[in-house]
Structure 1
């Protein structure tokens, strides 16, 4: 097993300098610190603090996801993760991040420098700098709705999209809807691609024809509805499926602004079942993700990776919730 002395010998420096570099001391240069960290990683060094299960530190790296209150998507995921970590006597640090931060430091170096045994990533998209680094990382890492193939140190958790979307399409088909629109989230994200593919295949399996004029990428915010709902209505949509409840709330508001009633004129379905879903007017039919369970599952998988049990992915089952925003297709 690699020791501080081994690193010092390879670099031709003192063990105290290696220790300072690994432990973040302020009296060595940043260049020397990075050299020490990079060499430690290459040699497979693991600090005692990362091996000590009685004081293990883990972190949540989060970007482009709100989590401060219960109405926001990330809140219950983080709460579930923290509760599960507490039972394992793990300390959790939440670290908001952005692209400039990620570009200025190597992921593995950051984790080693701060003695984090593993991380849970929330909200990062496939093209991000850290995602490229995760292809070769040695750090136990769990991703929500993202996947890195071939690295046994990285696992993926999420909700089974196909099952939830199939239930929603089946529900609308039984209500007589054929012209069903799909308003997706942000492009270049694995989860949005999966949901769009699921929507297309589920439409076809129910004998319905997906219309390219009725399938659009937006973003996971209500405001994107105003850019797409008028076009959906112009092309005859009688129902709109949305990649999130926030998008669905925007669709309901935009339909009302244009003089359409929900669900009498157009039905709307969301995804997530955020607390606000049941308080919209009308209450929102949606595909529920158990976000607390997602957080608990992330910790379960991360703990397994830390203990050398390699897990590829863990998917939770969704639940379809019928409320007042869907109704029979209006005869035309």
Structure 2
């Protein structure tokens, strides 16, 4: 008999009892299989799954939510941006959530809206999510305009990606907060090549990621008692890197630059080349992220690869554990991997710059545009 075509069953969806009958097991065993519980043999598990596929059975998640008090859904608050880092992290979260069997609900926020985070969290809580991921890289309270971090209260477990926890919740977990160590590694690579110091092209300082990378750069210089040059601040774009590059190219003392992302590094290299400063013969450059094009620019860019998938995998594993085991201790975090990809944009210190080695510079001076102003704080 074809499933669903028997008398009185022409329109009825298959039920777990039908799966149990076809597989020759109890209804409780079917429940154990679909809840991925232990103490079910592989042979029985395969019979149940085969029977479910044959019947076209799907779990009734609404009924399960009523029985367990959970909706098996996870909410994500993310900044609405096409920038490589936040977008890649969101993609990693989406892939992992699908594998956990939870539904995903995403709410985007907008930079410049100090109430965006609280509104997004409220929206997700109204949908009954079991846990929340906050991938919010902006500090909208940097000027002290709206409260202080920690004023947001949430009644479900929370995973915060790469930023200080801005919430109070039953469990607050963090993941992806190793950018300072990665930045320190990048800076130490340049110092290890003999460069007297390393300049820094930073991202906008309302971004937690930009602050972390700046602090890692400072820590590396302090660790080797190197001079800390003035910081140049960009806006993550290649255009701001180009503007910064024109400023830095005019300074003969600049022989190494750590950039807070790859896009700015690529713009910087273009400006250095136009100013007659060769990379890496005259100036070594390191980026951050390892965007897909980084290996194919001229010269191929030395950079730090961000482990987006690994961060999402570990973070979601810990969040799901907190959701499903509310009385248990949280799973401990692991140290994030640091993956420095050395390519052709870095080389040993070229030695003091002399008139004989001087290169032709761009005829005009640096243009003061937003995203390229020196920050001497």
Indicate the TM-score class for this superposition, using the shorter chain for normalisation: 0.7 to 0.9
Q: SS in structure 1 opposite 2:190?
A: helix
Aligned counterpart for 1:112 among listed residues 107, 121, 125: 125
CA distance in 1, matches of 2:66, 2:246: 54
Q: SS in structure 2 opposite 1:120?
A: strand
Structure 1 gaps of 5+ residues are 1-46
- Structure number with larger C-alpha Rg: 2
Q: CA deviation at 1:96?
A: 2.3
Pick 1 or 2: higher relative contact order, CA cutoff 8 A, min separation 6. 1
Q: SS in structure 2 opposite 1:328?
A: coil
1:230 is the counterpart of 2:246: yes
Aligned counterpart for 1:283 among listed residues 287, 292, 300: 300
CA distance in 1, matches of 2:299, 2:107: 37
Change (3 A) 1:112 1:126: same
CA distance in 1, matches of 2:77, 2:239: 26
Partner of 1:92: 104
Change (3 A) 1:205 1:104: closer
Partner of 1:155: 173
Q: Deviations along 1:137-164, whole A, 9 cap, x unmatched?
A: 2232222221127835332211523432
1:124 is the counterpart of 2:137: yes
1:147 touches 1:155 (CA, 8 Å); kept in 2?
no
Q: After superposing the two structures, state which structure 1 stretch, 287-296 or 107-116, moved more.
A: 107-116
Aligned counterpart for 1:81 among listed residues 93, 113, 117: 93
1:243 is the counterpart of 2:260: yes
Q: CA deviation at 1:318?
A: 1.4
Q: SS in structure 1 opposite 2:265?
A: helix
Aligned counterpart for 1:143 among listed residues 160, 165, 168: 160
Aligned counterpart for 1:197 among listed residues 192, 215, 218: 215
CA distance in 2, matches of 1:133, 1:301: 21
Change (3 A) 1:97 1:51: farther
CA distance in 1, matches of 2:322, 2:298: 44
Partner of 2:346: 326
Q: SS in structure 2 opposite 1:316?
A: coil
1:77 touches 1:292 (CA, 8 Å); kept in 2?
yes
Change (3 A) 1:266 1:105: closer
Change (3 A) 1:161 1:304: same
1:317 is the counterpart of 2:329: no
Q: SS in structure 1 opposite 2:130?
A: strand
1:77 touches 1:291 (CA, 8 Å); kept in 2?
yes
1:61 is the counterpart of 2:81: no
**TM-score, scaled relative to structure 2:** 0.65
1:270 touches 1:287 (CA, 8 Å); kept in 2?
yes
1:57 touches 1:117 (CA, 8 Å); kept in 2?
yes
2:150 touches 2:167 (CA, 8 Å); kept in 1?
no
**TM-score, scaled relative to structure 1:** 0.73
1:102 touches 1:130 (CA, 8 Å); kept in 2?
no
Q: CA deviation at 1:89?
A: 0.7
User: Where do residues 300-315 of structure 1 align in structure 2 (5 Å cutoff)?
Assistant: 300-307=317-324, 308=326, 309-310=329-330, 315=335
2:179 touches 2:213 (CA, 8 Å); kept in 1?
yes
1:220 is the counterpart of 2:236: yes
Structure 2 gaps of 5+ residues are 1-62, 354-377
Q: CA deviation at 1:135?
A: 3.7
Q: Deviations along 1:253-284, whole A, 9 cap, x unmatched?
A: 22123232211121110111122211111111
User: Which structure has the highest helix share of the two?
Assistant: 1
Q: After superposing the two structures, state which structure 1 stretch, 308-317 or 319-328, moved more.
A: 308-317
CA distance in 2, matches of 1:303, 1:190: 25
CA distance in 2, matches of 1:134, 1:226: 39
1:173 is the counterpart of 2:221: no
Q: CA deviation at 1:310?
A: 4.2
